[in-house]
A and B are shown apart, each in its own frame.
Chain A
């Protein structure tokens, strides 16, 4: 495989050999190292998708900041959504080390060309949804992301170390909301159950299509961008989460859920992959709203960004003149 720029085949082979050797020895690939084009493209796609997910992911929970039911909960939620903005920023920076500017990635999101995690296309209809997102969605995100702290691309791995620490706070805070509601009034308990009913299956789907259908799995595993398959991670999530639902006294909405003592894993009923692909295609409950909201914030902010740039230009011109 050639990088398409290098004309001399032997130099190119030499670089590729060095790249593969770094991978084999589990050394990090850094921005200054040579890397195959396809590796770079895959990473930009994956990291920018991840960044978009953080940014779009601010919206469903952001809905409830102004309506959080106590000052303590409001502060925690506001800080959480702020963390997600921070995650988006680190990740865009990590992707920028591969040569794609943030504005270009954001433009791709706004044009509907880039994907983000489909989970954020579901609505937050009541307060318990904030708890369910923290518990299930951040919980699933951690399981997805912890292996990425060991992925082959240095800036991505390092961004993920910091992000994972914060995600685990989010998960505990979400569980705490669920705990309070599940042990609250009957009405609050019903809110918690309703949230679990609506968020369970979308959370299970967050790990992506089954290994039999996943198109990127194999190559990404070889490049150590991915270290476990979708189904392995999904199973981990289920095994971790089912006992937590029991602690909460909530019922997972799956009549086929059962413990397999032989395999020492939970087994679940069949996942509605038609729904998964439908939401990815754009026909989830909130796809249009989420993207529209991001586009509006961007467009309404244009004059502010222009003003900041113009002010900086004037100051620069001033300090440059004697």
Chain B
């Protein structure tokens, strides 16, 4: 397919890439600090997969855009307002419970979304989604397993996990909101209607929460903004750290 500069696919694919990139960057900060050494390895696996996914999506976004931006340009030379990830993934790591809950909410959404995208009319999108969905299924199994173990573990782990759920719940609405980019992609047969994923997402969360003895918060307010570049304060710190070196020597190759 030939893309024009205003092709909404650029924006659409950037969102997918940025979700993976920002969460991968969050997770890689755990390495060497995990609660058990086996988790250093497991968290690194998930982070590596997500960086890999980010490279596939951002590489494609750059090709579609045709303006010479490559994966590193997207990762290291954009300001926070240029990022299109949902707010959920930029939330800080917190403790292991917060990382687990954030991961679970995202992995479940991502697994469902990639299932839709695997049927995209855009062959590249379909291929990337098909490939990355397998990894994401593993991420989801792992985060769901930890969610249940922590929720139904000790009183302390239960309290920490419920606290994380209460904190993060308000960031779980945004991925399901449909905006004009989503609508255009749905019309073109490239994307899907995010609202349709809400029921299956809620259903699986309910059953996992019941196994984990966790309560679903009743607070209906949902934060939004990431998909259009309006982020929480935490993203700029993440980017400051990630981007410092290449930005300090813009003419250097690494």
Contacts and interface: CB of A to CB of B under 8 A. Distances in A.
B244 A67 contact: yes
B51 A82 contact: no
A289 to B, nearest CB: 12
B1 interface: no
A127 interface: yes
Contacts of A89: 37-38, 41
Interface centre among B34, B44, B45 (most CB of A within 10 A): B44
Interface string B81-99: 0000000000000011000
Nearest to A62: B32
A22 to B, nearest CB: 32
Given A55-B37, A82-B40, A187 B32 contact: no
Interface in B203-229: none
A304 B96 contact: yes
Interface hub of B32, B37, B150 (most chain A Cβ within 10 A): B32
A230 B218 CA distance: 66
A67 B96 contact: no
Interface in A278-309: 293, 296-297, 300-308
A85 B41 contact: yes
Interface stretch (B112-120, B121-129, B151-159, B179-187): B151-159
A177 B181 CA distance: 40
A74 B44 contact: no
Contacts of B52: 75
A81 B29 contact: no
Contact of A85 (B29, B44, B76, B95): B44
A316 interface: no
B150 A127 contact: no
B131 to A, nearest CB: 16
Contact of B35 (A85, A180, A293, A305): A305
B254 A73 contact: yes
Contacts of B54: 71
B51 A78 contact: yes
Contacts of A68: 245
A185 interface: yes
B130 interface: no
A65 B29 contact: yes
B96 A301 contact: yes
Contact of A307 (B55, B75, B157, B252): B157
Contact of B48 (A79, A300, A304, A308): A79
A69 B246 contact: yes
Nearest to B148: A311
Nearest to B52: A75
A27 B144 CA distance: 47
A55 B152 CA distance: 30
Nearest to B27: A78
A82 B153 contact: no
Contacts of A302: 35
Which of B148, B149, B244, B246 has its CB near the most chain A CB atoms (within 10 A)? B149
A74 B25 CA distance: 10
Contacts of A81: 31-32, 44
B253 A184 contact: yes
A69 B41 contact: no
Given A71-B75, A79-B44, A300-B95, A185 B249 contact: yes
11 contacts: A66-B29, A67-B242, A70-B254, A81-B31, A85-B40, A88-B37, A184-B253, A293-B33, A296-B33, A303-B154, A307-B150
Interface of B: 25, 28-29, 31-41, 44-45, 47-48, 51-52, 54-55, 71-72, 75-76, 95-96, 148-150, 152-154, 156-157, 160, 241-242, 244-246, 249, 251-254
3 closest Cβ contacts across the A-B interface? A301-B35, A307-B153, A307-B157
Given A69-B245, A71-B54, A71-B72, 18 more contacts: A65-B28, A65-B31, A67-B244, A69-B76, A75-B51, A78-B28, A78-B51, A184-B254, A185-B249, A185-B252, A293-B32, A300-B95, A303-B160, A306-B153, A307-B150, A307-B156, A310-B154, A311-B149
Interface of A: 55, 58-59, 62, 65-71, 73-75, 78-79, 81-82, 85-86, 88-89, 127, 180, 184-185, 187-188, 293, 296-297, 300-308, 310-311, 314
